[in-house]
Amino acid sequence: MDLESTKMLKHSGRHSPPPESFADKIYQFRGAFLMVALPLLLVTLILYVRPSASSNESIEDYALTHRKISPDRIPSESFAVIFDAGSSGSRVHVFRFDRNLDLVHIGKDLEVFLQLKPGLSAYAQYPQQAAESLISLLDKAESVVPLEFRSMTPVRVGATAGLRALEGDASDKILQAVRDLLKQRSTLKSEPNAVAVLDGNQEGAFQWVTINYLLGKLGRDYSDTVGVVDLGGGSVQMAYAISETSAAKAPKKVPDGEDPYVKEMFLRGRKYYLYVHSYLRYGLLAARAESLKQSDDSGNPCILAGYDGSYKYGGKSFNASSSPSGSSLNECKSIARKALKVDESPCTHMKCTFGGIWNGGGGDGQKNLFVASFFFDRAAEAGFADPKSPVAKVRPVDFEDAAKKACQTKLEDAKSTYPHVEDGNLPYLCMDLVYQYTLLVVGFGLDPFQQITLVKQVKYHDSLVEAAWPLGSAIEAVSSIR
């Protein structure tokens, strides 16, 4: 273009169009933008609402995240055999799951459950006999699993506090004898690490998962879940979900040999911060031994009047004679406090349970508390819980009221007064009830009049399932092989 033409353009009033803004470009390509954005928005909404679609999404999430085979090869059903080798006895649970790991029936029930006494720890010096004590349970459990599923059905033996308390290598020898038994006699799928002493915190976490799974609580906000206290023979576990804020305040320093106070778990599309702690040597049977250590030559005020004998626990024997004046509620309370070491260990945190242990901070996850195992058993035997009902609403003070009556009972009258209590437990009824009250109120700091739920079984669909940690272990075992 020559100079003259350029001048004519400048004076003609026409200008080059201004550059387009970002908004103009978006408007120009709005059609293409919507074609891409709308499908993405729909996918996001589906993923957002999906976690609440099924009460079993938590287990399915775990299986999909950890599966070892492709989804189209996941079997339509699977089984798991879990042994709970506790201090008071051995129990076996057989579970059957569908491909989504939802419990389905075995016959008319949702699980096969069998138990026998004594527990493995009673054979401290005889590991072979300990292993052989499981044969009848193993044979029955294996017969329940169809032949074609046996080689792929995991079997686990989780020993709890009873074996933890044994001295020396007694525990290791018993566990090895059980491994040998499974290898030689069983056609179920057994890995060497599937027979072990269950970590106390793991036991508590499995128990929490079990009860909340059966109640359909998983996937909800932590404040809608229930807390769990499980009183076994050798240990007691407390587990409940806490807020992320409380979890951040958890003490970093824990007692020697203990796991961290908070366990993170992802269940049904939701992350939970689970406060869990296992108190070894504070289970009901272990507490008897600790209480009897407080005896003097004149006897123990927790033993029913008229009893003169001994108590064996953890391979040791303890004098278990009553005081000349019989059992005393107040004196037994004092002994229970000593057994819990309430006044011996200082609390270095904002708030503790007993033994200087952080209590988790409390909160909504603990407000609805389910207490299991020996709590239910003694309440039913003492007469303030219906033994035919799987759950019962009680208060901690009910244990104290029952203890008042028990402590005033002589051994010669105890059998007629408490017909459902086994003969071997009768002399310790006052002691057990006082300890349970003290554990709840003094140890865990519960209000004596707070309502709690005693639980033995939980209704799931149309059946009752044992409210015990093996279901949580079974879920993990089946998920890990998929």
Q: Which positions are annotated as active-site residues?
A: 203
d(CA 277, CA 117) in angstroms, rounded, equals 27
Comparing CA positions, the residue from 264, 316, 270 lying closest to residue 293 is: 316
Residues 471 and 455 sit within 8 Å (Cβ to Cβ): no
What DSSP line would sit under 7-52, residue for residue?
HHHHHTT--PPPPPPHHHHHHHTHHHHHHHHHHHHHHHHHHHHGGG
d(CA 371, CA 207) in angstroms, rounded, equals 11
- Pull the structure tokens for residue 161: 């506090």
* CB under 8 A, 24+ apart: contacts of 436-439: 436/231, 436/284, 436/374, 436/375, 436/378, 436/399, 437/336, 437/396, 437/397, 437/399, 437/400, 437/403, 438/333, 438/336, 438/337, 438/340, 439/231, 439/236, 439/282, 439/287, 439/336, 439/340
HEC profile for 252-286?
Answer: CCCCCCCCCCEEEEEECCEEEEEEEEEEECCCHHH
Q: Any idea of the CA torsion for 177, 178, 183, 188, to the nearest 10 degrees?
A: 180
d(CA 254, CA 251) in angstroms, rounded, equals 7
* CB under 8 A, 24+ apart: contacts of 117-120: 117/88, 117/89, 117/90, 118/88, 118/89, 119/85, 119/86, 119/87, 119/88, 119/89, 119/90, 119/162, 119/233, 120/85, 120/90, 120/159, 120/162, 120/163, 120/174, 120/178
